[in-house]
Chains A and B, each alone.
Chain A
Amino acid sequence: MSRMNNDSEAVIAVNRFGLGARGSELAAAARDPRQWLTQQMVSPSYGASRFTTVAAFQQFSEYRQRIRDQRKAPAQNESSNMQDKGPSGAGIAPAKVIRQTQRALIFDGLWQSIMSAEPFSIRMLDFFSNHFSVSMTSIQLNVLAPLLERDAVAPHLFGQFEDMLIAVIKHPAILVYLDNTQSTGPASRVGKKRQRGLNENLAREILELHTLGIDGGYSLGDIRELARALSGWSISRPRDKAQKGFVYRRDMHEPGARTLLGRRYRDGDVEQGEQMLRDLARHPATGRFVCHKLAQHLVSDMPDEGLVDAMSAQWQQTNGNLGAVIRVLIAHDASWREERQKFKTPREFVISTLRALEIQEDSPPRFLRQLHRHLRDMGQAPFSSGSPAGYPISNRHWDGADALMKRIDWANTVVAVSAQSNKSALEISSRLFSTQLNGATRQAMERAETDRQARALLFLSPDFQRR
C-alpha cells in the first residue's frame, strides 16, 4: 500500500473510528491504520478509581440505615442549611454521599475518554453501554448505571457477546431499571403464597432491544417464556449479608421446562435463563441486528449491505465473537470510503475537541463538572437517555439547528479557555487531518482574525463535525 493511501486511511482511522487525534496519534496510525485499530482491541481498565457494585450496595445499606435513624429521631434540625431535599425529602446527608459517588463515576468516565490511548476501544464501550442503556432515574440507579458499563460491558467488549449479555442481565442496574427484581413465577413458592406474578419488561426488552431486535421473529409467548425463566433473578436486600448485588431467588422462580423460539429448556434454576440468553446471543437474527447497528454507529446510518453481511456471517461462525466481528469491519473496504457519512454525536464532538486541544491533567474537577453540564445542555448527558433503547444513533437526531448553535457557542468558549495549548490552529489541524484538510476549511482558518477564531472554525468545520 502506498504512503499516500496510508495517510488518508490514517485520517479515517483516527477520526471515524477513534475520537479524533490526541497528540501524535495520527503519525502512529499512519504506519498501519488498520493495525492501529486492531491493537486497541483491549478492554478499558479502571485502575485506581475502581469502585465496585458490592461497594455501591454497601453505600445503599448505609443510606437506608441513615434514613431509618432520621425517622426514629424526629427532625430537630428542620432548619438544616443543606439545600438538597430529594423528592422524598428524606435522608439529606446520605444522599450526598451517593451523589458524590455518582459524580465521581461520571467524571471518571469522561476523563477516561478524553485521555485514552485506545480511543477505538472507547468507541466500542460507548456503543455497547448505549446498547444496554440504563438511565439514572433513581438514587440507586444513579450509581448502578455507570457500574453496569464498567462491570458488565467493558470486560467483554472484544469477547463473546453471550458473556456480555449474561453479565449485563445479571447486573443489578438492568434488573432494577427493567423491573425484574420482584418478578415472581405464579407457580413458585412465593407466587402461590402471596399471589404475586411476573413482570415481563426485562424479557421484552432483551428480545426487542438487546438481542433479536423488534423484527427478530419472536412472539408474545416467547416473551412470557423468557420472563418465566428469568423470574427470581433479583438483587440483594439490605439484610442479605452474604451476597451483595445479584441474587437468584429460587422461591420466586417459576418451576418447569420452558420453550423459547421453538427450543425446549429443561427445568433448572439460574442455568435455565443463562442457557436461553446464550442461545439468544448466538442467534443469527441477533448477529444481524447487532452488526447492523454497530456498522451504523461506526460507519454510516445506511451501512453497506456487504459489510453487514460479512460481519453477520462472522458472528454465526464464531458464535458472536465481538473481536472477530470487529476485525471483519476493519478489513472491509466499505468501512474506509472517503465520504464522511456520520455526523458526530455531542459526546463524540466534545471529546474529540478536547483531545485535539490536549486538555491536561490539571483541568478537573471543575472542568469536568462544566463538561457534564454542557453535555446535558446538548442533550447527551451520560446515562440519561431516558429510554432503554438508549440515545439514537442516526445523524438526524443530532444535526438539528439548535444543536449546531450549541456546538458553535461551546466551541467558541472552549477555544478561549484552552489557551494553555501552545499549538496553533494549523498545527492542530495537521495533527487531525494531515494534508487531507478541505481547501475551504484551510482558507477559512488562514483568513481568521485570531488563532483562537481559527481553532473555533476548525472544530466547527464539516471536516471535523463529520467523520
Chain B
Amino acid sequence: MNRRQWLAAVGSSLVCWHNRGAALTNQKTPKLVWLVLRGAMDGLHAVLPLADSDLLRHRDKLVTAVQERAHPLDRGFALHPALPTLAKLYRQKELLTIVATSSGAKTRSHFRAQDILESGYNRADNESGWLNRALEAKRGQSLAVAHGVPISLRGRHLTQTWYPDHFVESKGDLFERLQSLYSEDELLSQRLMSGLQTRDKLSVIDQVNRRNRFAQLASSCGTLMRAQGGPDCAMLQLEGWDTHQGQVRRLQTKFSELDAGIVSLRTALRNEWDNTVVIVATEFGRTVAANGTLGTDHGTGSALFLLGGAVAGGRVLGEWPGLKKSELFMGRDLAPTSDNRSWIGAVLKQHWQLTDQQLNNVFPEVPPVRERVIKSDLVRDPTVLG
C-alpha cells in the first residue's frame, strides 16, 4: 500500500476542511483571496494618471520611463507595462481599478499602517483581523499562506496556515506508524490526516514546488482553494514595495512578480476563478513627487485592485483628487478620496452576502460603497444592492 492508497482508505471518513456552509447547501461557495502588498506600493506608478497634466511636473523621470508601453484604461489612466495580465483582465471586465484609496491609516509607519490595514480598525487590534471577523459571519474556512497567522486572520475564527519550508519531506511508512501511534490522541490523529491531505493535494497537482517565490505560492494557494472542500478564502502577501530609490527598475520587477502571481493563481483555480474575487491592497501610497534618489517616500493615497471572474470589472473607479499642489494631501501626497474598507465591505456584502450589521462589525463606521463590484448574476440576493 503506498501513501496515496493508504490516504484514500483511511482518509475517506475524515474531512480535511470542515465546511459547514457547503455541507448544508451543497452550493459553490464564493471564493475570496486577500493579497497584501507590504511596504507601500506606489499607486501612481501602477495606475498612471496620464491624463493629469500635472503628473509629469512631479515625477517626469518615473513616468517617461514607462508611459509609452503602458496599457491604456478608461478615464485617461494606464496600467504599468509590467502588468499585462491585469490589463487583459481589465479588457475582459474582470478587473476593477480603484484610484486614490487609503487604508484609513493616519500614520506613515509601515508596520502600524499594515496593522490597521489588516485589523480594519482605525486603531489596530493585533488580535482581531477584518477577514477573521468576516469569516465569523460567513462561517467559512480559511487558509493563510504564511508561517503564522497574519493579523488579518487573527481572532475567534480558526484559520489554517500553510507555507513551504526548508525541510526534507518525510517519506516511507513513518506516516502510517504515526497514525497508529496517534490512534488514542484524537487531535494529533486528525491533524496528521489533515496535513497529509493538504500535502497530497499539492503534490498531486503541482508536484509541490518548495520554492517560495510568489508565483509558486499563489499557484499552491489556488490549488488548495480549488480542491474538494478547500478553503473559501485565502490570504497571500508580497513584500518589497518600499521603493525609496531606483523605483523604475525595482517596480518593473515587483509588478512582473505580481502579474505572474495572478497568472498562476488563476491557472491553479481553474473553474473556481469564475467564482473568485482577489483583493489587492497596500498599507499606504507614496509621495507624488520623486525624491532625490529616483524613488518616492512614504505617502498616503494609493490604488486598490479587485479582480477575478466574479468581479464586475472593466472600470476605473474612485474620485480623482487631482495633482495640483493645492490638491495634494499635506502638500505632498495623493489625497485619498475613498477608504479601502468601503470597497472591501461592498465585496463582502455582494459576494458573501454579509448583512449591514455584520459589516459594521467587520469595519465599524465605514459603510460599504453602493457601487456594484460583483457581477449581478453572482449576487444571489437582489436586495443587497438596495
A residues with a Cβ closer than 8 A to B are: 87-89, 137, 179, 370, 373-374, 376-380, 386-389, 396-397, 399-406, 408-410, 412-413, 440-441, 444, 447-449, 453, 456-457, 460-462, 465
Nearest CB in chain A: distance from B175 CB, A = 8
Binds A, one of B26-34, B82-90, B183-191: B183-191
Residues of B near A410 (CB, < 8 A) are: 167
Write the chain B residue with the least CB distance to A465.
B188
Contact A402 B161 (CB under 8 A): yes
Residues of A near B196 (CB, < 8 A) are: 405
Nearest CB in chain A: distance from B153 CB, A = 12
Write the chain B residue with the least CB distance to A370.
B166
Size of the B side of the interface (Cβ < 8 Å), in residues, is 48
**Given known A444-B181, A462-B182, contact A412–B244 (CB-CB < 8 A):** no
B138-151 CB mask vs A (1 if < 8 Å, else 0) is 00000000111101
Contact B167 A413 (CB under 8 A): yes
Which residue from A87, A402, A413, A456 sits with its C-beta under 8 Å from B163? A402
Contact B194 A89 (CB under 8 A): no
Residues of B near A457 (CB, < 8 A) are: 174, 177-178, 181
Residues of B near A386 (CB, < 8 A) are: 111, 148
Nearest CB in chain A: distance from B249 CB, A = 11
A-B contact pairs, 21 of them (CB 8 A): A87-B240, A370-B166, A373-B166, A374-B166, A379-B147, A379-B148, A379-B163, A386-B148, A389-B127, A397-B149, A401-B160, A404-B195, A405-B198, A405-B199, A406-B165, A409-B168, A409-B169, A409-B170, A413-B167, A440-B184, A465-B188
Nearest CB in chain B: distance from A339 CB, A = 13
* SS of A interface (majority): helix
Contact B242 A400 (CB under 8 A): no
Contact A406 B167 (CB under 8 A): yes
Which residue from B161, B169, B175, B178 sits with its C-beta under 8 Å from A400? B161
**Given known A400-B160, A457-B181, A462-B188, contact A412–B147 (CB-CB < 8 A):** no
A20 to B160 Cα, complex, angstroms: 28
Nearest CB in chain B: distance from A258 CB, A = 23
B351-382 CB mask vs A (1 if < 8 Å, else 0) is 00000000000000000000000000000000
Contact A408 B170 (CB under 8 A): yes
Residues of B near A465 (CB, < 8 A) are: 188
Which residue from A89, A402, A405, A460 sits with its C-beta under 8 Å from B246? A89
**Given known A397-B149, A404-B191, A465-B188, contact A377–B166 (CB-CB < 8 A):** yes
Residues of B near A441 (CB, < 8 A) are: 181
Nearest CB in chain A: distance from B155 CB, A = 12
A380 to B111 Cα, complex, angstroms: 19
Q: Does B126 contact A (CB under 8 A)?
A: yes
Contact B195 A401 (CB under 8 A): yes
Having A402-B163, A444-B180, A457-B181, one finds 7 other A-B pairs with CB under 8 Å, namely A374-B167, A377-B166, A399-B188, A401-B191, A401-B195, A408-B175, A409-B169
**Given known A377-B167, A401-B192, A440-B184, contact A388–B177 (CB-CB < 8 A):** no
Contact A460 B178 (CB under 8 A): yes
Contact B163 A377 (CB under 8 A): yes
Write the chain A residue with the least CB distance to B158.
A396
Residues of A near B39 (CB, < 8 A) are: 87
Contact B147 A378 (CB under 8 A): yes
Nearest CB in chain B: distance from A224 CB, A = 14
Contact B162 A402 (CB under 8 A): yes
Residues of B near A444 (CB, < 8 A) are: 177, 180-181
Residues of A near B163 (CB, < 8 A) are: 377, 379, 402
Contact B126 A412 (CB under 8 A): no
B residues with a Cβ closer than 8 A to A are: 16, 39, 109, 111, 126-127, 146-149, 151, 158, 160-163, 165-170, 173-175, 177-178, 180-185, 187-188, 191-192, 194-196, 198-199, 240, 242, 244-246, 293
Nearest CB in chain B: distance from A452 CB, A = 10
Residue among A137, A404, A412 facing the most chain B CB atoms (10 A cut-off): A404
A440 to B188 Cα, complex, angstroms: 14
Contact A409 B165 (CB under 8 A): yes
Contact B181 A399 (CB under 8 A): no
Write the chain B residue with the least CB distance to A381.
B147
Write the chain B residue with the least CB distance to A375.
B147
A211 to B165 Cα, complex, angstroms: 37
Contact B167 A453 (CB under 8 A): no
**Given known A389-B127, A444-B180, A465-B188, contact A87–B244 (CB-CB < 8 A):** yes
A88 to B295 Cα, complex, angstroms: 10
Residues of B near A380 (CB, < 8 A) are: 148
Residues of A near B191 (CB, < 8 A) are: 399-401, 403-404
Which residue from A89, A370, A378, A387 sits with its C-beta under 8 Å from B244? A89
A453 to B109 Cα, complex, angstroms: 49
Residues of B near A374 (CB, < 8 A) are: 165-167
Which residue from A87, A406, A462 sits with its C-beta under 8 Å from B242? A87
Write the chain B residue with the least CB distance to A387.
B126
Residue among A89, A370, A441 facing the most chain B CB atoms (10 A cut-off): A89
A453 to B198 Cα, complex, angstroms: 24
Which residue from B158, B167, B245, B293 sits with its C-beta under 8 Å from A409? B167
Contact B161 A379 (CB under 8 A): yes
A449 to B174 Cα, complex, angstroms: 10
The 4 residue pairs across chains A and B that have the minimum distance between CB atoms? A409-B167, A377-B165, A379-B147, A401-B195
Which residue from A88, A378, A402 sits with its C-beta under 8 Å from B198? A402
Contact A377 B147 (CB under 8 A): yes
Residues of B near A397 (CB, < 8 A) are: 148-149
Contact B198 A401 (CB under 8 A): yes
